[in-house]
Amino acid sequence: MGSRLGFGVLYLILGILAVIQIYPLFWLFLFSLKTNQEVFGMSPFALPQQPQWANYPKVWSQGHINLYFFNSVWYTVVAVLLTIILASFVTFAITRMNWKLSKFVLGLFIVGLMIPLHSTLIPLFNFFKHVHLINNPLSVILSYTAFNLPVTIMILLGFYQAIPREIEEAGVMDGCSVHRIFFRIVLPLTTPVLATTAIINMIYNWNEFVFVNTFISSDRWKTLTVGVNNFVGQYLTDWGAIGATLMISILPILIAFLLLSNRIVEGLAAGSVKG
């Protein structure tokens, strides 16, 4: 009876915490269906009297959210793939090859974790301006990749160190080259941790605001996080449209996290054990 009571209390607490975590999303959904009069004239917790479902097609077409959504998708996908490929190359070279500067190079990447993002905006802006990449998607993708590389390498490092070297030695005995060992043996073994790093990078890239707002000025290349500003005017702000835009921007990441959350735990746990 004591153990059942304890589990009951535990589940009750977890249920309350789950409601607390989920309620902001539900509130944002209700907010996106309200008019400006309902937003300011009613309680924040009140239900919309006449749900404004038209907010969603309005922001998708008139607010160019469809274009911003596509930009967010391909920025995120390209940056994630580039980060994973480069981080895998670096981690393989540091952990599986013997060369004098391996620890020094690893230290350089770890230092990247300590560099504040905002302190790099002016140097990066001057650099991209010099090479004519301002208002170019490549400036955003390169920035995402550079800032995600250190944390991605850190996650991959423990997993690579846990891979038995006997596997690679068997590949060498079979006549495999270094490239074939990496692509045919090591890379497939790292699938769980690669999924983890992909999700973490995807969440960061999708929600990023500063780089896009700094390097991109044309509506053609803006993302969802910056496109919300389209509904903020000098004299009038369409709060329902802003809520609908935020809801649209949250859904892809929320769905991806719900489908792949087990991969995050699996990859982090696998990469934390060296043996």
Domain membership of residue 183 (yes or no) is yes
Q: Which domain, by its residues, includes 244?
A: 64-271
Contact 232, 245 (CB under 8 A): no
Domain membership of residue 201 (yes or no) is yes
Domain membership of residue 54 (yes or no) is no
Domain membership of residue 28 (yes or no) is no
Mean pLDDT by 10 residues, the chain (275 residues): 79 91 88 86 82 86 84 93 94 87 88 86 93 93 94 89 82 82 86 86 89 89 83 69 86 79 62 47
Domain membership of residue 2 (yes or no) is no
- CA nearest to 182, candidates 200, 152, 201, 160: 160
Domain membership of residue 56 (yes or no) is no
Tally of structural domains, the chain:
1
The pLDDT score that the predictor gives to residue 268 is 57
Rounded to an integer, what distance in angstroms lies between the CA atom of residue 109 and that of residue 107?
Answer: 5
Model confidence pLDDT, tens digit, residues 55-83: 888 888 877 788 899 999 999 999 999 99
Domain membership of residue 114 (yes or no) is yes
Domain membership of residue 26 (yes or no) is no
pTM of the model: 0.82
**CATH label of the domain that carries residue 138:** 1.10.3720.10
